[in-house]
Amino acid sequence: MRNLMFALLGCTLFWACNQPKPEPAATGEPVKQQPLEIGDSKYIDIAKQATRSLFEGNVDGFVANLSDDARFEWNYLDSLQGKKAISDYWKDRRGNVIDTLTASGEIWLTLKANEPPAPNVPTGTYVFSWYKVTAKYKTTGKSMTQWIHQVQHFNANDKIDYISQFLDRVPIQAATKK
């Protein structure tokens, strides 16, 4: 009796798995676009290349995919406006302040916002990244390590027009203080 039950169960599962999935009835209404969806991974590649260039000290490589009117902001309300200002800041920082900059434990996610995610926040493609950063400073020889979160927005020409970086300034200030 037990063998018969297993045989019937097996036949039922086999029959159920071989049935075609029923197609949803066409209602004639257009499919509503979701407010957020997973974005194209090509944007992760662009964002990773820019970030890695900065870590390697290649500021020109970092700004290569920025729009001319790009904005770089930190969570403590400081900001840079324009590709030239961003380039000048990071050339000085990487040339005179930061000796080495490394990342580990990277996480990358692309989202496409079909509707504004919040008031005054544009639609479009966003790349979110999280990584553990270790920086060694030229001026003191000290190092600091912390997790950084970064958001990059891409314009219609696939250029980064907005970077927002979230970090803790306390370990940076401690590592740069003589």
Q: Are 99 and 136 in contact (CB under 8 A)?
A: yes
Residue 120 Ramachandran class (φ > 0 left, ψ -120 to 50 alpha, else beta)? left
How much is the pTM? 0.80
Summarize pLDDT for 73-106 with one digit per residue, the tens: 999 989 999 999 999 999 999 999 999 999 999 9
| Whole-angstrom distance, CA of residue 65 vs CA of residue 49 | 9
Better-scored residue on pLDDT, 10 or 125: 125
> CB count, 10 Å around CB of 169?
12
Write the CB contacts of 159 (distance below 8 Å, at least 6 apart in sequence): 65, 66, 67, 70
| Tokens linked to 168 | 């803790």
Structural domains of the chain, ranges and CATH numbers in brackets: 34-176 (3.10.450.50)
Q: With bands split at pLDDT 50, 70 and 90, how would you rate the model's confidence at 29?
A: confident
Summarize pLDDT for 135-161 with one digit per residue, the tens: 999 999 999 999 999 999 999 999 999
**Strands of 66-74's sheet, edge to edge?**
36-38, 98-113, 124-137, 143-154, 160-166, 66-74, 79-81
